[in-house]
Amino acid sequence: MSGRLYVIGTGPGNPAQMTPEALAAVADSGEFFGYAPYLDRLSLHPDQLRHASDNREELDRARAALERAVAGAKVCVVSGGDPGIFAMAAAVCEAIDQGPSEWREVDLIILPGITAMLAVAARIGAPLGHDFCAISLSDNLKPWNIIEKRLRMVAEAGLVIALYNPISKARPWQLGKAFGILREALPGKTPVIFGRAAGRPDEVMAIARLAEADASRADMATCVIIGSAETRVIDRGEKPALVYTPRFIKDETR
């Protein structure tokens, strides 16, 4: 008889940002599959088994978890943030799509979590107050020319953009290239938010104008949010500035 497979997100890393549903799934599970730093965020009992793997082994991790669920185990696949945004829910679905028929019979429960762009937005105001999109700058799973095309199109469409995986040691140039593309379509005064480790002790929030935005301020723990032409910054003196995107846009065709 098949067991159960949970797919959860731990949120941005602050234990208080993990949902009660996800905590209940952890309590109900006997085996855990995930990237080691994400598994480290859980308080597991000695009889709960960890299966840690590298961050680039998502599909193999999903297959291994499904095998254990088919064997009758209660399994939990762990992501950071929300499991459905650039994370393990898609890998599990892909494994089921490509795998043996018995994997389709697994009791699959995908639970939402707080993703990085929501945590950063809440810390800084309401930059996602109007239409927005999320784009990963990693070209591990899609070619860079597709990323460039999407950046141009969403900037021209006037969407606020949340950038995930903005920079790494293997990809030190891509965020700077993305800023260059966005400067072609957006005003130089457009707010750029560098939100690092939102909700954690090492949190850093910074605001810059697109014209002067420095890609070196970001790392893989940073979610970068680029406003639209409508996004505003509220100066509050000694208090941190607020960034928001108004809920209303005028119809310029009238």
Residues 33-57 have pLDDT tens digits of 999 999 999 999 999 999 999 877 8
Whole-number pLDDT of residue 1? 55
Residues 81-123 have pLDDT tens digits of 999 999 999 999 999 999 999 999 999 999 999 999 999 999 9
pLDDT above 90 (res 249): no
Q: Which secondary structure element, helix H or strand E, spans residue 119, and what is its range?
A: helix 116-124
Handedness of CA 203, 204, 205, 210 (dihedral sign): negative
Domains and CATH numbers, the chain: 4-110 (3.40.1010.10), 116-244 (3.30.950.10)
**What is this structure's pTM?**
0.93
pLDDT above 80 (res 192): yes
Whole-number pLDDT of residue 254? 62
Cα–Cα distance for residue pair 93/242, rounded to 1 Å: 38
Across the chain, mean pLDDT equals 95
pLDDT above 70 (res 253): no
- Count of CB atoms situated within 10 Å of the CB of 55: 13
Cα–Cα distance for residue pair 36/53, rounded to 1 Å: 6
- 20 Cβ neighbours under 8 A, 6+ residues apart: none
Residues 219-243 have pLDDT tens digits of 999 999 999 999 999 999 999 999 9
Residues 115-148 have pLDDT tens digits of 999 999 999 999 999 999 999 999 988 999 999 9
- Cβ pair 237, 51 in contact under 8 A: no
